Amino acid sequence: MSAQIISGKDIAADIRSELSGEVAKLVAETGVTPGLATVLVGENPASQMYVGMKNKAAAAMGIYSRQITLPIDTSQDELLGVVAGLNADPAIHGILVQLPVPDHIDEGLVIESIDPLKDVDGFHPMSVGRLATDSGEFFAPCTPAGVVEMLVRSGHDPAGKHVVVVGRSNIVGRPLASLLIRKAPGGNATVTVCHSRTPDLGAVTRTADILVVAMGRPEMVTADMVTPGTVVIDVGTNRVDDPDSEKGYRVCGDVLFDEVEKIAGAISPVPGGVGPMTITMLLSNTVKSARLATAR
């Protein structure tokens, strides 16, 4: 029997519809339109595509979107000046500096220069600290927040479940573990975090009620590493050579979908899974920031 397909594309569409209503209500009641600024340094094709998708999605929901594209030789001080200007701009509620930045710019310093109240990516140390301690208002990193929404909205609430997270990055693995153990909706799970140095990884993944894979290794999780009935969320997006494809490559996740789909209870596809949720949660954070700004 095939697994339930957890479509991030469909869930993202539902959330965006809800957010559009929130935006319209906010504008009607306060006159404030949520504003998102994206800053792109250089002409990386993938980054240009991602920024374009974010801006298009924002505009479709009634969110004001401003893109700032800077030449690749922009100095660190110049970039910090742009961020400072956006920090001070009341029309902007969310700031996203598209990563990676050129090598001559200190990525950490740029992230720390963003006003935490406008840190809709959720990467600022204050955001990370508040998430880890579950205290105060914060913006959760978009991909982990999207994973939690996918689980809850597809009927697989993590509460009381053993969730195994494969991957310990600051962008996905670690913040996802923090979200899942919170005493809050979407939390209250028992969490095990695995990584590249975990001995006998399969022995751990087979203990999962919910398995989230975010290692960036194409199709590394195979059927023998998953217990029948497990809920599997695949965060990976990898491009692998495929001479049979018209483009010469195909996009796949970190899970060998064709094998695992046959035994999993539910599984997210790649593409069409976590990817659409990441942009959606960025927009959700922007609306939240605007709402908080009107209350201050």
Active site residue 262: no
Cβ-count burial of 229 within 10 angstroms (0-12 exposed, 13-18 middle, 19+ buried)? exposed
For residue 184, give the DSSP letter. Answer: S
Question: Which of the following is catalytic: 48, 56, 77, 98?
Answer: 98
Q: How far apart are CA 116 and CA 120, in angstroms?
A: 8
Asked if residues 185 and 232 have their Cβ atoms less than 8 Å apart, the reply is no
Active site residue 10: no
Residues 6+ apart with CB under 8 A from 80: 109, 110, 113
Which pairing describes strands 231-234 and 266-267: parallel, antiparallel, or unpaired? parallel
Q: How far apart are CA 33 and CA 39, in angstroms?
A: 19
Question: Which of the following is catalytic: 54, 118, 119, 254?
Answer: 54
Active site residue 76: no
Whole-Å CA distances, 223 to 202, 254, 262: 10, 12, 8
Asked if residues 164 and 204 have their Cβ atoms less than 8 Å apart, the reply is yes
Asked if residues 148 and 180 have their Cβ atoms less than 8 Å apart, the reply is yes
Question: Which of the following is catalytic: 119, 121, 234, 254?
Answer: 121
**Nearest by Cα to 251 from 271, 233, 267:** 271
Tokens of 34: 């949520």
Handedness of CA 79, 146, 236, 138 (dihedral sign): positive
Three-state DSSP class for 163?
strand
Question: Which residues form the catalytic set?
Answer: 54, 98, 121
